[in-house]
Amino acid sequence: MKNILLYFLISLSTEGVFGESLSVKEGGSVTLSPQLTEIKKDDVIDWRFGDILIARVRYNNNPSVYEDALDGKFRGRLKLDGQTGDLTITNFRNTDTGEYEVSNIINNFRKTISVTVMSAVEVKLVSVLKGDSVTLHTDLTEVHEDDVIQWRHGDTCVAEINKTCDGPDGRFRDRLKLDHQTGSLNITNITTADSGLYEVKISSSRRTINQRFSVTVIVGFMFMREGSTVILNTDTEIQRDDEILWKFGDEVIRIDRFNRRVDSRWRNISVSDNGDLILANIQSDQFGDYDVEIKNKSALKKLQYKVKDVKDYVLH
Ligand SMILES: *[C@@H]1O[C@H](CO)[C@@H](O)[C@H](O)[C@H]1NC(C)=O
Ligand SMILES: *[C@@H]1O[C@H](CO)[C@@H](O)[C@H](O)[C@H]1NC(C)=O
Ligand SMILES: *[C@@H]1O[C@H](CO)[C@@H](O)[C@H](O)[C@H]1NC(C)=O
Ligand SMILES: *[C@@H]1O[C@H](CO)[C@@H](O)[C@H](O)[C@H]1NC(C)=O
Ligand SMILES: *[C@@H]1O[C@H](CO)[C@@H](O)[C@H](O)[C@H]1NC(C)=O
């Protein structure tokens, strides 16, 4: 049970359009579970993919996987647990996406689990200057009538078409607009708290599309004189367990904020209690982009500072 369950979308299960959904990396493994406490006498647990029986487990019998089903589509890639009824699909392919149904003939139990592929490539990187607006574009040219479109920021639902979602505790107020043609999301006057991961899920009877966006908020451009001191702050009230990751370009700056130490290689850079980066006596090769990611259990913040040589400042 290790290489499994890569990402969980919060399921909004009121027996509804969503049911349970899972996303898995292409080539990864996923375990689908009927979540039964035990398999009782007479139980017959069936797994179907698009109406076709692919696996069955009966009480006190060896589990069977039907390798020839669907022209051998799943051959060698299904594992069925005879104790729990859990079905594992290994080496998950794009063509394996869809609805998996598990049922128990005996007590009319039925549940569908929708599985989509989530490859790293699908995360679109978006940078936006604090205070500006940004549109996160879906790949759709039109929204169909029966589409349900849901946008999440972290694990909060922030916007939805044709379902009601509570929205993000007033944080976005009137700053979000959903384009009813394309499902794209427009955020105005962006704040640092708006940074992080966004996910849109578009689903109807015909299709399920997931897209992800990683939004970095550029906190500011700082034009500095060589030899001066710059403080780049995390703009967050850091808690003890929060993870802070600073980078200069692609290079990670290793910090220990409890000892206020920075890997010695980064000359004249130190760190505050709050994880702020202090660049003293900045040298010409230290101008560039500084990124910070601040992560806790429920949120991810991604900020960037562009530290530039004042000599490069151009008046417009
Ligand atoms: C988002 O909406 C605002 C307000 O309607 C608009 O001014 C802005 O151009 C839009 N932003 C983008 C990036 O499309
Ligand atoms: C949403 O539902 C309403 C009726 O409930 C329908 O008229 C509309 O076309 C649906 N789709 C969108 C994208 O709003
Ligand atoms: C943008 O948000 C800030 C607070 O984050 C607020 O002070 C400012 O008035 C807002 N600007 C606009 C144009 O709404
Ligand atoms: C570090 O900063 C001090 C002054 O703050 C300076 O004298 C020294 O040369 C700097 N060291 C490096 C390697 O830049
Ligand atoms: C996680 O971080 C966000 C924003 O940085 C903050 O609003 C939230 O309270 C934090 N949650 C926990 C559990 O620390």
| CATH code, 24 | 2.60.40.10
Q: Extract the tokens encoding 106.
A: 């005996």
Most confident of 12-21, 103-112, 124-133: 124-133
Are 253 and 247 in contact by the 8 Å Cβ rule? The answer is yes
Residue 83 CA to residue 76 CA, distance in Å, equals: 20
Residue that finishes a domain, picked among 169, 197, 216: 216
pLDDT confidence tier of residue 234, bands split at 50, 70 and 90? very high
Residue 69's H or E segment, with its range, is helix 69-72
Pairing of strands 44-49, 176-178: unpaired
Q: Whose CA is nearest to atom 1 of ligand 3?
A: 189
Provide the whole-model pTM: 0.66
pLDDT at 12 over 60: no
pLDDT confidence tier of residue 77, bands split at 50, 70 and 90? very high
Mean pLDDT score, 292-296: 92
- Would you call 103 helix, strand, or coil by DSSP? strand
Q: What is the DSSP letter of 232?
A: E
Q: Are residues 96 and 192 in the same domain?
A: no
- Would you call 290 helix, strand, or coil by DSSP? strand
Q: Extract the tokens encoding 248.
A: 């200069």
pLDDT at 10 over 90: no
Among 41-55, 226-240, 245-259, 301-315, the minimum mean pLDDT is found in 245-259
State the residue for tokens 């992560």: 295
Q: Are residues 17 and 114 in the same domain?
A: yes
Q: Extract the tokens encoding 141.
A: 């040219």
How many A from CA of 124 to the centre of ligand 1?
A: 19
Residue 102 CA to residue 48 CA, distance in Å, equals: 6
Q: Whose CA is nearest to atom 3 of ligand 4?
A: 281
**Average pLDDT over the chain, rounded to whole?**
85
Q: Are residues 18 and 112 in the same domain?
A: yes
Number of domains in the chain: 3
Query: How does 159-194 read in b/e, with b if 16+ C-beta sit within 10 Å?
Result: bbbeeeeeebeeebeeebebbeebbbbebeebebeb
Look at 34 and 118; give whichever has higher pLDDT: 34
Residue that finishes a domain, picked among 162, 197, 216: 216
Look at 279 and 3; give whichever has higher pLDDT: 279
How many A from CA of 170 to the centre of ligand 3?
A: 14
Residue 180 CA to residue 24 CA, distance in Å, equals: 28
Q: Extract the tokens encoding 99.
A: 């609805």
Q: Which domain holds residue 175?
A: 123-216
Residue 106 CA to residue 303 CA, distance in Å, equals: 54
Q: Is the CB of 192 under 6 A from ligand 3?
A: no
For 255, other C-beta atoms within 10 Å of its C-beta total 21
Q: Are residues 75 and 128 in the same domain?
A: no
Residue that finishes a domain, picked among 94, 118, 142: 118
Q: Extract the tokens encoding 19.
A: 């049911």
pLDDT in tens, 140-181: 888 888 888 999 998 888 888 866 676 666 788 789 999 988
Residue whose CB lies within 8 A of the most ligand 2 atoms, among 138, 145, 182, 205, for a mutation test: 145
Pairing of strands 208-224, 300-309: parallel
